[in-house]
Amino acid sequence: MRKAILSLLGFAGCIAQAWAVGFVLTPPRFEVTLASGATQTYNISVLNVDSTKPVKLRAYLMDWTLKPSGQLAVSKPGTVAYSNAAWIDVNPAEFEVPPRAEQVVRFTVRVPDSSFGSRWSILYFESQPDTTQKAMIGMSFKARVGSPIYVIVPGTEVKQAELVSFAYRRRDGRAHEFALRIANTGNVHLRPKGTLAVKNASGATVATASLSDEVVLPQSQRDLSLPLAQPLAPGRYAAVISLDCDIPELIQGETAFEVAK
């Protein structure tokens, strides 16, 4: 009998995708503060959105990191330098959720002494193959959705960031957007907030944009883009970006560009 496994990956609480695979996690991610040597237990809810069939799930931890493009790279626990997978115990690890029912899963975090900065992993919930479907069509399907777990050790944070590059570009010859690269040189993850203002030759603001919620992991860089919803007439412009990375000073950048006729 031929076998095939379809694995769907959910990350950072992708609710639409979670509904597509049959179950939803609440909350979609955890960001907790725990002192070195402390222990704390947390709850995560798994909802089976199917109204007719139960879902069998297996819970397990994995390491992950992000490429500059934002692409998720998943690996075995303990392979990422900033992993907290070894700190976490999950209970239950295997369970079945009836149709339209909810299962509460608990995980306990034990922070080792002398820990610092932030550490992270991802708690995956993976559905087990439907044996009835496998017998009928000779294929089995799996789906998994994950909830990232960030642990911050208070009093040990080093928050540092810099704007590596900031440039204008035009997609498909029409849409205007700005590309920026942010470097996190500290030991905790950051979620930069930012505003962009486009000024014409007279200094008047003619377009604005805001940076969405994107994580930048410690000792890494992220490439982000800011599209403009507003049109720009031909002419010369200056774009100014202001980033709040939760450090004492705002990070600012400026680039001049021209929109051709």
Please check whether residue 140 is in contact with residue 4, taking contact to mean a CB–CB distance below 8 angstroms. yes
Task: Return the pLDDT at 169.
Answer: 93
pLDDT of res. 261: 82
Question: What pLDDT score was predicted for residue 171?
Answer: 78
pLDDT at 38: 98
Query: Do 121 and 83 meet the contact criterion of CB atoms below 8 Å apart?
Result: yes
Domains within the chain, CATH numbers bracketed: 9-152 (2.60.40.10), 161-259 (2.60.40.10)
- Write out the H or E segment, with its range, that includes residue 118: strand 118-127
Amino acid, single-letter form, for residue 178: F
Peptide bond into 27 cis (omega under 30): yes
Edge-to-edge strand order for the sheet containing 161-171? 161-171, 175-184, 220-227
pLDDT at 134: 52
pTM of the model: 0.87
Walking along the chain (261 residues) 10 residues at a time, the average pLDDT comes out as 41 50 90 98 95 94 96 95 98 96 98 97 90 54 89 97 96 86 97 95 96 92 94 95 93 95 82
Tokens describing residue 111: 């922070």
- 131: part of which helix (H) or strand (E)? helix 131-137
For residue 162, how many C-alpha atoms fall within 13 Å in the half-sphere facing its CB? 6
